């Protein structure tokens, strides 16, 4: 089958081309590594939480302090996020100021007693300015605990007052009733109120930078394989191998089809290599739906393949093709979310970005990475295939063999 | 029996006539030469014969198949050696030939066998696993020829196959063409090198400005010059300006400069010789020898057009 002969010849030529390999594989991998590791967990407004050390200074030694430390800070949920170490106030302040600890919580002496007496208490959080987000999380946890304690205290006091005022119980029965209610209240205070998103709401968790840029750069650099495809077609014309191919008993459709299948094969190899490499080297999760990933990769590569013949038809020289490709690729990458997440865009720009291959590919890949199932890639895949059909039609219509 | 019949081929590009009613026949097993200066229209003729360009009018039959009606059938019996090196530089010679073999409808087994055979024919079996980009110009030309032989064509169409190569490689190619012809292959050989066409071809068509201005065997063509004398003066320092002055001498019918020799055509060679030598002496040119020669194809072209093949 001549179509396959032409395609495999092109794959062989590309695999031997060091410059092509550098651009198609090494460059995206390096950029993914740099951006992913540099931006790390603070990316996209949805930080991926990694475990860190927090100091607790328990000057209270009371019941509520014990509840806060053992049942909240060291609960199963939060222990995945925080490593809590008890220490003295001096130690805590020193380590936080040196940046060795993100934050410290100081529970003042008499905290539990004051709360019990309804006088209100105060918890102090000290944070490292260099680890603002981590410190803010600790502050949030502490504030949330304090609010809950306040609510429960009011909630216990108010019904008791109502019971006494309505004479439903006598003031003599108050201590026993209080004991019952505060038991319930104690359990309410220690109910889990903060969970690590990753565990309960995987579908809505944010992506890490390395995940985001693995998808972003893979989509962007797959378009470079379209550029190489276009250059290869023009090269065949300039080096007269296309003319020679036309002197063989081969149909034009086999020759052009073979060239396009070659671009498709190279694209699939490139994308698969990037998915595997990012998975193995950086542990990037590409989602739970393998069929979804396969269909989306194929759709993206097909859109890129269509783009290659479009460029080859529009540009007369390899230089023009490369320049045109650069503009198209960089433009689509910037607008389509390969470089910067679309959340950062104003609405009008988001509307424009929908006219790019990158937007739809990124839409599908990020949703898959967020744990969504096959259904989410159906619309992006249909639109990517539409890109392929439009580019192919225009390209084949304009391509000249002579 | 004629295996190639070209009938009134015409090609017009944007209103310019590149080939104007060209007709010729080639007998099976012969070498036919298409001789003419650059821009004469030879490559356009080969482009049409190899079904790359559709003729504006006219037709050609190759092994009885029309280039207009049955181009696919023509491509199966025709081997084309293009003027340019049409190979993939980052593949080896063997990989290139295997690719082209498959494109000529050979099976994998046939391709393997023919690849080795054509490598032997062009004398590059021992270098076949090297990348084309590492080859010399002559070696590339030889593989360029090998690729056109893979499918055992009945007719080989060669378009300026020796352009830009060293004399040794050129001789190798010429001997290869001779050897292939001895095995029965018909060759249409296009060149602007008079010596190559003289050496190889049984019949020759001389092309100029899109037309065939003369055709026949070498002897027939030389008779066109008739009784004219050819004075060949070996000279150093001659210029086209001097040649123009020589053309103005009475009874000189034509003059051309080629390398270090000036050819003068005249029906009264002995009468003009003194004037020619005198004119050359007055210029800065230095004469090293003077002889009256038998006409060759260069002289034929000069006689027919008043210009050199290299003009």
- pLDDT value of position B53: 93
Sign of CA dihedral B108, B114, B118, B120: positive
Q: Do B88 and A249 touch (CB under 8 A)?
A: no
On average, the pLDDT of chain A sits at 83
Identify the pLDDT of residue A219. 94
The reply to whether residue A245 touches residue B72, judged by beta carbons under 8 angstroms, is no
pLDDT at A165: 56
Query: pLDDT (tens digit, 0 to 9) for every residue of chain B, 311 residues total?
Result: 899 999 999 999 999 999 999 999 999 999 999 998 888 999 999 999 999 999 999 999 999 999 999 999 999 999 999 999 999 999 999 999 999 999 999 999 999 999 999 999 999 999 999 999 999 999 999 999 999 999 999 999 999 998 888 888 899 999 999 999 999 999 999 998 888 999 999 999 999 999 999 999 988 888 877 777 888 888 888 888 888 888 888 888 888 887 788 888 888 777 888 888 888 888 888 888 888 877 788 878 887 887 776 65
How would residue A295 be classed by pLDDT, with cut points 50, 70 and 90?
very high
Q: What ipTM was predicted for this assembly?
A: 0.84
Query: Strand runs (DSSP E) across B152-236, as ranges?
Result: 155-159, 186-191, 203-208, 211-216, 229-236
Contact B49, B205 (CB under 8 A): no
Give the pLDDT of residue B242: 87
Whole-number pLDDT of residue A6: 96
Residue B142 touches chain A, beta carbons under 8 Å: no
Distance CA B85, CA A240 (A): 7
Question: CA of B71, closest CA in chain A: separation in Å?
Answer: 8
- Say whether pTM exceeds 0.90: no
- pLDDT computed for residue A194 by the predictor: 37
Instruction: Tell me the three state secondary structure of residue B6.
Output: strand
| pLDDT for the residue numbered B153 | 96
Residue numbers in A near B88 (CB within 8 A): 9, 13, 241
Rounded Cα gap, residues B134 and B137, in angstroms: 10
Predicted pLDDT of residue A179: 54
Residue pLDDT, tens place only, A111-157: 888 887 777 778 889 988 767 778 888 888 888 888 777 776 655 55
Q: Which chain A residues touch B100 with a CB distance below 8 Å?
A: 244, 248
Question: What confidence score (pLDDT) does residue A187 get?
Answer: 57
Q: What's the pLDDT score for residue B180?
A: 94
Question: What angle, rounded to 10 degrees, do the helices at A209-238 and A318-336 form?
Answer: 160
Interface of A with B in 247-306 (CB under 8 A): 247-250
Assess whether pLDDT exceeds 60 at residue A166: no
pLDDT above 60 (res A177):
no
Q: Is B84 on the interface with A (CB under 8 A)?
A: yes
Query: Does A247 have pLDDT greater than 50?
Result: yes
> Which of B72, B88, B90 is nearest residue A249 as measured by Cβ atoms?
B72
Cβ distance B102 to A246 less than 8 Å, yes or no, reads no
Question: Residue A23 burial (CB < 10 Å; 0-12/13-18/19+)?
Answer: middle
Q: Which two tokens stand for residue A380?
A: 């992006």
State yes or no: pLDDT of A159 exceeds 70.
Answer: no
Across A34-57, average pLDDT: 70
On chain B, the residues whose CB falls within 8 A of the CB of A9 are: 88, 91, 99
Q: Do A240 and B75 touch (CB under 8 A)?
A: no
Residue A202 has pLDDT above 60, yes or no: no
pLDDT band with cut points at 50, 70 and 90 for residue A206: low
Domains of chain A with CATH codes:
2-44+206-398 (no CATH), 53-199 (3.40.1710)
Q: Compute the nearest-CA separation of A388 from chain B (Å).
A: 27
Q: Would strands A52-58 and A82-86 be described as parallel, antiparallel, or unpaired? A: parallel
């Amino acid at each position: 089958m001549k179509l396959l002969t032409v395609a495999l010849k092109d794959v062989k030529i590309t695999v031997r081309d060091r410059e092509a390999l550098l651009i198609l594989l090494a460059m995206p991998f390096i950029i993914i590594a740099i951006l992913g590791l540099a931006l790390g967990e603070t990316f996209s407004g949805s930080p991926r939480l990694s475990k860190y050390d927090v100091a607790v200074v328990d000057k209270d030694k009371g019941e509520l302090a014990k509840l806060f430390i053992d049942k909240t800070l060291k609960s199963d949920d939060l222990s995945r996020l925080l490593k809590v170490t008890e220490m003295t106030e001096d130690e805590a302040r020193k380590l936080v100021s040196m940046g060795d600890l993100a934050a410290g919580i100081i529970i003042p002496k008499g905290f539990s007693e004051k709360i019990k007496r309804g006088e209100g208490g105060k918890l102090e959080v000290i944070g490292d300015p260099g680890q603002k987000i981590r410190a803010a999380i600790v502050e949030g946890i502490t504030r949330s605990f304090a609010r809950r304690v306040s609510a429960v205290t009011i909630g216990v006091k108010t019904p008791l007052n109502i019971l006494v005022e309505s004479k439903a119980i006598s003031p003599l029965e108050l201590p026993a009733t209080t004991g019952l209610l505060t038991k319930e209240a104690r359990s309410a205070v220690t109910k889990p109120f903060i969970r690590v998103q990753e565990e309960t709401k995987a579908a809505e968790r944010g992506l890490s930078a390395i995940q985001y840029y693995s998808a972003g750069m893979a989509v962007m650099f797959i378009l470079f394989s379209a550029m190489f495809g276009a250059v290869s077609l023009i090269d065949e014309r300039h080096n007269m191998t296309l003319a020679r191919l036309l002197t063989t008993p081969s149909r034009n459709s086999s020759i052009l089809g073979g060239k396009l299948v070659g671009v498709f094969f190279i694209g699939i190899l490139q994308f698969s290599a990037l998915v595997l490499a990012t998975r193995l080297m950086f542990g990037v999760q590409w989602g739970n739906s393998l069929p979804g990933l396969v269909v989306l990769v194929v759709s993206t590569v097909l859109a890129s393949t269509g783009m290659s013949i479009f460029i080859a038809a529009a540009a007369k020289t390899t230089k023009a093709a490369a320049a045109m490709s650069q503009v198209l690729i960089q433009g689509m990458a910037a607008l389509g979310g390969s470089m910067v997440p679309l959340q950062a865009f104003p609405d009008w720009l988001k509307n424009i970005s929908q006219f790019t291959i990158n937007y739809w590919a990124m839409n599908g890949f990020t949703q898959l990475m967020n744990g969504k199932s096959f259904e989410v890639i159906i619309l992006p895949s249909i639109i990517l295939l539409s890109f392929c059909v439009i580019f192919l039609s225009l390209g084949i219509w304009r391509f000249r063999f002579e | 029996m004629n295996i190639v019949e070209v009938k009134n081929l015409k090609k017009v590009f944007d209103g310019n006539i590149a080939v104007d009613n060209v007709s010729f026949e080639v007998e099976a097993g012969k070498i036919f030469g298409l001789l003419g200066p650059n821009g004469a229209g030879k490559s356009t003729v080969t482009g049409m014969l190899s079904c790359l360009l559709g003729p504006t009018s006219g037709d050609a039959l190759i092994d009885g198949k029309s280039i207009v009606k049955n181009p696919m059938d023509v491509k199966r019996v025709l081997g084309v050696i293009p003027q340019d090196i049409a190979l993939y530089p980052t593949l080896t010679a063997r990989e290139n030939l295997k690719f082209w073999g498959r494109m000529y409808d050979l099976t994998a087994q046939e391709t393997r066998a023919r690849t080795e055979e054509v490598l032997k024919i062009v004398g590059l079996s021992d270098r076949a696993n090297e990348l084309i980009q590492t080859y010399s110009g002559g070696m590339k030309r030889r593989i360029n020829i090998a690729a056109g032989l893979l499918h055992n064509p009945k007719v080989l169409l060669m378009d300026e196959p020796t352009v830009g190569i060293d004399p040794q490689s050129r001789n190798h190619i010429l001997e290869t063409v001779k050897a292939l012809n001895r095995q029965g292959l018909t060759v249409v050989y296009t060149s602007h090198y008079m010596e190559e066409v003289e050496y190889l071809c049984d019949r020759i068509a001389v092309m100029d400005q899109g037309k065939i201005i003369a055709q026949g065997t070498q002897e027939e063509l030389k008779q066109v010059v008739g009784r004219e004398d050819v004075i060949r003066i070996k000279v150093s320092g001659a210029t086209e300006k001097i040649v123009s002055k020589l053309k103005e001498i009475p009874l000189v019918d034509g003059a051309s400069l080629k390398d270090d020799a000036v050819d003068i055509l005249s029906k009264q060679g002995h009468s003009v010789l003194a004037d020619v030598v005198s004119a050359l002496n007055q210029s800065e040119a230095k004469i090293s020898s003077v002889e009256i020669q038998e006409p060759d194809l260069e002289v034929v072209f000069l006689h027919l057009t008043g210009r050199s093949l290299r003009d």
